[in-house]
Amino acid sequence: MSKIDLVSREWCDIVFEGRNKEYGAYRMRANAGKRQLRALLIVILLLAVILAVVGINAAVKAMNKGEGEQYDAALEMAKLQKEQKKEEKKEKEIELKYEEPKPEKVAVKASIQFTIPKIVDDDKVVKDNELKSQDELTQSKAAISSATYKGDVGGTINMDDLQANQSAGGTATPEVEEEKVYNVVEVMPTFPGGEQALLAWIGKNLKYPSIAQEQEIQGVVVVRFVVLEDGTVGDAVIQKGLHPECDKAAVKCVKSLPRFIPGKQQGKPVKVWFTCPIRFVIN
């Protein structure tokens, strides 16, 4: 027996053969296939609409979640930047000291200023600029110069004979310095591991300022610092500068150096000046 399609029009005609086809049951039976197909299409359409709605909702939630995460990330980044700025403000600004040649103090003998007479309308003369009498000049052992000076102990040089790199105020016998910082001692301070270890430590810990890198600034900063009795680094001055930011970076690096083996004079640890060149090179 061949396969029979129960919803086909042919089967409906066989069933209602010889019967009243005007009866409503025949039309219902004959149109059953169309109704089922229509119902199936409606179900498929509804399922498609439901799936589309579900997909759109999921996409919207995902977008909202992504935007929320981006917003949270932006807030977190802003918070970190704010905290970083606060920390940068709290960080103590490094004070740079540049070493300048100090004038040599020389013992100067007493002197009396040679004053040119000045006539004024009100007949008043400033006391400090009064013209010295001949007796004062004769009886005084002070030299005649461009300024009046009380004199230093053991002074032998006239005030007007001072050189450009000299100043009055010295003594014939050198003063004893308290807590002297030596330039050279019997045992100089050394970095643990020697000079190569010192340069390697500086090369590893030195931070090249970004502004100097952008401007392609390269060169050497010479820093002179004090190695204290316990081996720690004390005052630091710039002997040769390169750029303010590079100078700051060099001083900061030097001040963070580990302890040295302190210098010794007559077997006792003393303060010693130590000079270190720091090179800034863009690789």
Whether pLDDT at 206 is above 90: yes
Is 109 in contact with 142 (CB distance < 8 Å)? yes
CA-to-CA dists, residue 217 to 84, 99, 177, 246, angstroms: 26, 22, 41, 9
Q: Which neighbouring-strand residues pair with 166?
A: 104
- 146-177: per-residue pLDDT in tens? 666 666 666 666 666 666 666 766 665 554 44
Q: What is the pTM of this model?
A: 0.46
Mean pLDDT of 115-140: 56
Pick the more confident residue, 105 or 272: 272
- 65-100: per-residue pLDDT in tens? 766 667 677 777 777 777 766 665 555 677 787 776
User: Domain 181-280 class?
Assistant: alpha beta
CA-to-CA dists, residue 271 to 59, 181, 186, 231, angstroms: 72, 5, 12, 9
Is 172 in contact with 153 (CB distance < 8 Å)? yes
Mean pLDDT of 248-265: 95
Q: How confident is the model at residue 58 (pLDDT cuts 50, 70, 90)?
A: confident
Whether pLDDT at 272 is above 90: yes
- 119-130: per-residue pLDDT in tens? 555 555 455 455
Tell me, what's the pLDDT at 176?
47
Whether pLDDT at 265 is above 70: yes
As a whole number of angstroms, the distance between CA 124 and CA 245 comes to 56
Domains in the chain: boundaries: 104-168, 181-280
Q: Which neighbouring-strand residues pair with 105?
A: 167
Pick the more confident residue, 7 or 231: 231
Whether pLDDT at 186 is above 80: yes
As a whole number of angstroms, the distance between CA 177 and CA 24 comes to 131
